Amino acid sequence: MKKLFLTLCVALLSMGAQAQEKGDFALGLKGGVSFAKIEFGSEKESFSRAALGAFAQYSITDKWRIELEGIYHPKKDHFSDFTVGLNIHYLINVAEGFKIYPQIGYGLAFAKTEGSGSADSDTETDGGLQIGLGAQYNIGEQWFILADYKFQPGIFGDGHAVYVGVGVRF
């Protein structure tokens, strides 16, 4: 996992020399924590867990962009999942280089629980609406940092996710 992360970071750094028109396309990494009330089969649990993922953003106009993200939640209490989300952001310029954005989208989660033996494993897929708010601060011409909050009602229960990330714009 460390080698994959390092390879992705080197790839993102090397792409800066091939920049297209500023603001049209961005790639980056997100990490954070999710707080969830998980309903998986007959089990119901509440817990927080780490999250790590990547995203790609495309600016449709100067006010609207779409984002594709993939977030992995490592196993905790015998439960792990990978969520793919497609979100729409409405960008509001607050100050030079600083934006906030309400967002709405759809998340699709692929989850796995593991019991005490390998025969006790179970997988499920669930999807639903995700809504939230984010903020982005530009660092120089290409780089930016972001923070996201998403509420995910109905995706294996109700979830709240808080992510921070770094991205590069092309």
pLDDT at 116: 57
Q: How far is CA 12 from CA 5, 50, 62, 137, 166, in A?
A: 11, 23, 23, 18, 11
Predicted local distance difference test score (pLDDT) of residue 6: 45
Identify the pLDDT of residue 129.
Answer: 94
What is the predicted pLDDT for the residue at 41? 63
Length of the chain: 170
Average pLDDT, the chain: 82
Query: 56: closest CA among 34, 82, 24, 83?
Result: 24
What is the pLDDT, as a whole number, of residue 2? Answer: 46
Q: What type of residue sits at position 154?
A: G
pLDDT at 5: 45
Q: Is the pTM of this model over 0.95?
A: no
User: What is the pLDDT, as a whole number, of residue 141?
Assistant: 85
pLDDT beneath 50: ranges in the chain: 1-2, 4-21
